[in-house]
Structure 1
Amino acid sequence: MSITINLKPIRVIFCFLFFVAGCITKNPILAQQKQHSIDKVFKEFLAHDWMRGASVSFKVKSLEKKNIDYEYQSTTSLTPASITKLFSTSVGLKVLGEDYKYETKVSYTGEIVDGVLDGDLIIHGAGDPTLTLRNLDSVIVSKLPDLKEIKGAIIADASLYGRVTTPPKWVWEDLGNYYGAGVSSLNINDNIYGVYLKTGSTGSKSTINEIKPITPYLTVESEVLAGEKGTGDNSFIFSSPYSDSHIIRGTLPPNRSNFRVKGGVTNPEYHTIWMLADTLASHGVKVDENQLKVVYNSEELEKSLPLCSAFSPTLSQIIDKTNKKSVNLYAEAIAKTVSIMETNSILPDSITASLIRNLEDLELSDEGLFLEDGSGLSPFDAFSANHMVTLLENIRSTDYFDTFYNSLAVTGTSGTLKYFCRYNQAKGRVIGKSGSMRRVKSYAGYVKTVNNDTLVFTVIVNNFGCKGKEVRKALEPLMEELAK
């Protein structure tokens, strides 16, 4: 008797096993080649002359295929700048929830008869960093469409934060500028005002054309000079919290007829009620602008009746702008709100301790982790690439990861990464956040590789001897290599 054996299935199984075995043996080789390529490009970055006195903390890790784990001084703590916002926004989502909204309540004393408020109008600050004059005005007008007169005062209830607005470890050079505006109980229009200047020939003093919005209580003095052609805006506004006197110094582009410099409002509570009073007056409401008061102790407020509320966007929307546009005001507000929720304290040490405690829940070690604010504006903040990579890896298992991930910028496309890697293979493949300040450049986030892997990375560079733009350009080949 003869037996016939069909060899076709055996060949198929053999080929399959051969393929699997080949993959098993090839993957380590490919991983080694990838690591070697990363090492080569990274060392080329380190070899630049302007990197001789610099410090770097770098780490990249594969999340899907688990075959890449490259690091260079990854546990060295350095000044990180704005990638710090990834800590405060992730903690904000964890503690407050993505649907959280700030509520700015409005109340009144006395009574309202025939469109006349015979009493005070009180705006109760909730620390909302997104409150706009339009929103505040509209909720009041919609509730009191026939309002004709406010006989009493317009009061800003600043009892939530009192006079504690600015982190103590911020530097004086930043305090009067838009990015250095502190978070108050009441904030309005991002706490920004504009100074419009006329500049002349190089070396000449610039003159102020106007200030918008018009703020008669604010004094701005110009000591800023016209710089060399092509030097850009190198001006700084110097002031301090609750000061109504600002000085602008430095240089601006020459021969400009109306160059705008953005300043930071240093007395936001008073600024809010002054702007509101001015707007109500433009509607025909009679108000006494001499009766504008800021109250820092709630016990000094009379008993009042609720009128209406102005609500912020959701926290997910706030965080989207915080990370894509790198808004210091929003990051600081989130950090303060978390501290209020957890400790009922806004003392600087309480705020940062609350952040670190929540980061430890995501398995970050507090060793070498130093936070002085929630935005990264303080030059005294310090952490390592390993700290940030740990956050970015572990946050993927949370139920708020999608919201966090969608708040990040994309290379060559959006946010602070819009001009990063526009012309190489990393365009659209790096999703993350950048950080910049004097002698600091940092990037952190995720990389979608061409072979369907996901990498998590952080690179922090301090004390380089060139302009930040050169560092950004020199890091682009590294991002391109990661994306391959």
Structure 2
Amino acid sequence: MPTSSSFRLRIPRGLIGPNYRARTTVETPGSQDGHGRLTGDLFLVGRGDPNLSGRILPYNLRTERSDLPIKVLEDLADELVKKGIKYVDGDVIADDSYFAFERYGEGWTQDDLVWADGAPVSALTINDNVLFVSIDPANRPGERALVKIAPFSDYYQIDNRIITTPAGTGRKIFINREPGSMVLTLWGNMPLGDPGANEALAVEDPAGFAAALFRSLLEKRGIVIYGHTRTRHTELASLSTFSVTALATAHGGGDTHTQPSSSKEPQVLASYDSKPLSDDLRVINKVSQNLHAEILLRLLGREKGTAGTIEGGLEVVKSFLTQAGIPSGEYVFYDGSGLSRQNLVTPHAVVALLQYVAKQPWGLLYSETLPVAGIDGSLADRFHGTPAQGLVLAKTGSLDHVKSLSGYANTVSGDRIAFSIFSNNFDVPGRRAQDAIDRIVEAIVQDTPARH
């Protein structure tokens, strides 16, 4: 059946250490003179840090964000000011070539690409590659609603057609952006007195977004940019001919791969090291963060495989699963998040992997990254007041007409059970399928047959 990321997210801890950190740098191949003029281009180089955002780490019970979603970029810009840079003769270039330019997975639906769940993947990820859109009614009926966008309001062209209507008329809001378009169209109506709506919308090209945002931060600090704003990608086709475009060496930590570089090593002007990988595993598993799971798959390929690509990461995953004794005929994967409809896996394979993980030295630490029934993450609002509350650690999975739950259940008799429950192609409301799964889990905890 189609599967979520619950299966593959048991893998990275066994391949990349929990203390792994990624480094983001500002670099130049040029030089700075005594007048503060930088000759040459200025590169903002990403190496797979998924948390260049306002997310507060470590995750504790729920997602928390600060009011400073781009603080890391602001700090990097401040470092350039401290170094006395006043002019940049070249371009501002956002470099995400640490991974191949594969923004989306095979089998993703077009509907996903507008929203945070389907945000494009990049080695240079700012604010989860989304913009926060807030919509509030105007002061009088007939006026356009108020639309605000953060953290970078100039990224999209906004076509706002949402009209404020009299109180009590109900709210209807629609948002659309065609693939490849930089125009965000909003239409519908919002009544007076409405508390407002908030949405997280995906950016088109994360590196392009980062380049424009970083340039604006430099200019706000008085640094004059004479060149253009552009991006640097590694095209997937170039990897098949063993030609790599990245200038920067790997600073992510752990095992790295040497790549061809220019004859002169770039000068690092500012840098930021990520939080440890263990913190992000909690985010991925607790709240089902698709983008971070995709970044992690490419990181596996980059650090432990042949390249920072989907295929490179999946090759590492397959090797690990073979080592764990999982038959290759029981799964097929096309991405890292489980968003692809073409992913398939059997419950037997999931349980076998859970059992394997439980026997590893890192097994207990891994299980602590899973949502706890009735307590936190994607299970915070499930199992309240039931015998399963606090006794089940499990990863949720959800697509249209697909629900799953896999993990560990501690029974009232003291046993720990690895379980995996899939519901596929159901034609009832999703909540009914979810409730059926929950009843089965409750029966496992109580060591009793499930109620029908």
Same fold, TM-score > 0.5, yes or no: yes
**TM class, shorter-chain normalised?**
0.7 to 0.9
The residue type equivalent to 1:107 in the other structure is E
In the TM superposition, residue 215 of structure 1 has moved relative to its aligned partner by 3.6
The residue that corresponds to 2:2 in the other structure is 79
Q: Taking structure 1 as the reference length, what is the TM-score of the superposition?
A: 0.74
In the TM superposition, residue 475 of structure 1 has moved relative to its aligned partner by 2.8
The residue that corresponds to 2:42 in the other structure is 121
Cα 1:143–1:238 change in 2 (3 A) is closer
Cα 1:453–1:224 change in 2 (3 A) is farther
The residue that corresponds to 2:116 in the other structure is 178
In the TM superposition, residue 112 of structure 1 has moved relative to its aligned partner by 4.8
The residue that corresponds to 1:135 in the other structure is 72
In the TM superposition, residue 258 of structure 1 has moved relative to its aligned partner by 3.2
SS at match of 1:298: coil
Query: Residues 263-342 of structure 1: matches in 2 within 5 Å?
Result: 263-282=201-220, 284-288=221-225, 291-296=228-233, 297-298=245-246, 303=264, 304-342=266-304
CA contact (8 A) 1:99 1:316 kept: yes
In the TM superposition, residue 197 of structure 1 has moved relative to its aligned partner by 3.0
The residue type equivalent to 1:110 in the other structure is S
Alignment match of 1:160 (pick from 73, 98, 102): 98
Inter-partner Cα distance in structure 1 for 2:175 and 2:433: 23
Count of paired positions: 397
Q: Which runs of 5+ in 1 are unaligned?
A: 1-77
Query: Residues 328-477 of structure 1: matches in 2 within 5 Å?
Result: 328-477=290-439
Bigger CA radius of gyration: 1
The residue that corresponds to 1:481 in the other structure is 443
In the TM superposition, residue 253 of structure 1 has moved relative to its aligned partner by 7.9
Question: Which shows bigger deviation, 391-400 or 472-481?
Answer: 472-481
SS at match of 1:159: strand
Matched, 1:110 2:34: no
The residue that corresponds to 2:258 in the other structure is none
CA contact (8 A) 1:238 1:247 kept: yes
Matched, 1:94 2:14: yes
CA contact (8 A) 2:77 2:214 kept: no
SS at match of 2:51: coil
Question: Which shows bigger deviation, 253-262 or 311-320?
Answer: 253-262
RMSD of the TM alignment (CA)?
Answer: 3.2
SS at match of 1:482: helix
Inter-partner Cα distance in structure 1 for 2:146 and 2:304: 45
CA contact (8 A) 1:121 1:150 kept: no
The residue type equivalent to 1:129 in the other structure is P
The residue type equivalent to 1:99 in the other structure is N
The residue that corresponds to 1:189 in the other structure is 127
Q: Could you give the per-residue CA deviations for residues 415-454 of structure 1, whole angstroms, max 9, x where no partner exists?
A: 0000111121111111111111211111011011111110
SS at match of 1:350: helix
In the TM superposition, residue 329 of structure 1 has moved relative to its aligned partner by 0.9
Question: Which shows bigger deviation, 130-139 or 112-121?
Answer: 112-121
SS at match of 2:98: coil
The residue that corresponds to 1:72 in the other structure is none
Question: Which shows bigger deviation, 230-239 or 326-335?
Answer: 230-239
CA contact (8 A) 1:198 1:206 kept: no
The residue type equivalent to 2:276 in the other structure is T
Inter-partner Cα distance in structure 1 for 2:362 and 2:172: 39
**Greater share of helix:** 1
CA contact (8 A) 2:286 2:371 kept: yes
CA contact (8 A) 1:136 1:310 kept: no
The residue type equivalent to 1:273 in the other structure is A
Cα 1:328–1:236 change in 2 (3 A) is farther
The residue that corresponds to 1:59 in the other structure is none
In the TM superposition, residue 232 of structure 1 has moved relative to its aligned partner by 9.3
Q: Percent identity?
A: 23
Inter-partner Cα distance in structure 1 for 2:161 and 2:322: 47
Inter-partner Cα distance in structure 2 for 1:184 and 1:112: 33
In the TM superposition, residue 362 of structure 1 has moved relative to its aligned partner by 1.2
Q: Could you give the per-residue CA deviations for residues 96-122 of structure 1, whole angstroms, max 9, x where no partner exists?
A: 111111112221222153544344321
Cα 1:395–1:162 change in 2 (3 A) is closer
Inter-partner Cα distance in structure 2 for 1:119 and 1:230: 58
Inter-partner Cα distance in structure 1 for 2:394 and 2:432: 20
SS at match of 2:312: helix
Q: Taking structure 2 as the reference length, what is the TM-score of the superposition?
A: 0.79
CA contact (8 A) 1:168 1:348 kept: no
Q: Which runs of 5+ in 2 are unaligned?
A: 54-69, 234-244, 248-260, 447-452
The residue type equivalent to 2:16 in the other structure is L
In the TM superposition, residue 286 of structure 1 has moved relative to its aligned partner by 2.1
Inter-partner Cα distance in structure 1 for 2:343 and 2:291: 17
CA contact (8 A) 2:131 2:149 kept: yes
Cα 1:350–1:243 change in 2 (3 A) is farther
Cα 1:247–1:127 change in 2 (3 A) is farther
Q: Could you give the per-residue CA deviations for residues 293-334 of structure 1, whole angstroms, max 9, x where no partner exists?
A: 212333697942122321111111110111001101110011
In the TM superposition, residue 336 of structure 1 has moved relative to its aligned partner by 0.5
Inter-partner Cα distance in structure 1 for 2:407 and 2:173: 30
Inter-partner Cα distance in structure 1 for 2:339 and 2:117: 9
